[in-house]
Chain A
């Protein structure tokens, strides 16, 4: 069975600070990894995804994530956050049958 762990439940940053959200997974097969974002009052949106190839994946809005196979990690990063990045971020693993398993989510608050 696959599982996803997001260690940071709440993160508070000031604008322009750098962001790194941790995501660790366990899955025995070929892994597909995703980061989704849920802005307040809105639905989940795909930030970026990794299927294969370059382990450094660039997504929308300046976000990137690095797949480190040896560490079973897929951490999300952004060099300089903005107030508009305040949202909840979910890491997810895609397994057999395209099923997604989500991590518990990380609530990010960016102070202006």
Chain B
């Protein structure tokens, strides 16, 4: 159980275009999903927290107009990189809270990531 998928796994686009990345929890419902960005040889940086049915909460320094997040259902969150530029090239990873874990605190399960290259 607790499988999270992302689509696409890899995308190459031209500068100025928008790219949508989907994150799905396949076998559980996730009221909260998270979006991370991972630079080469670096750790994951949290970009935003996505809550089903409400607006996402963005971390400091993350442009909400550039990185649009929609959490339309309990199994799907999308990240749209608008007007992408080469500096947006990165590895984007989503995670979803698995609500059944013990201790009253959720555990996050991660998707396989999406590598975005902006030419």
Contacts and interface: CB of A to CB of B under 8 A. Distances in A.
A14 to B, nearest CB: 24
Nearest to A4: B43
Interface residue range, chain A: 20 to 34
B108 A102 contact: no
Contacts of B107: 34, 46, 49
Q: Is the interface of B mostly helix, strand, loop or mixed?
A: strand
Interface stretch (B61-69, B72-80, B97-105): B97-105
B106 interface: yes
Interface in B85-117: 93, 95, 97, 101-113
Top 3 A-B pairs, shortest CB-CB distance? A51-B103, A44-B110, A43-B112
Interface of B: 32, 34, 42-46, 49, 57, 93, 95, 97, 101-113
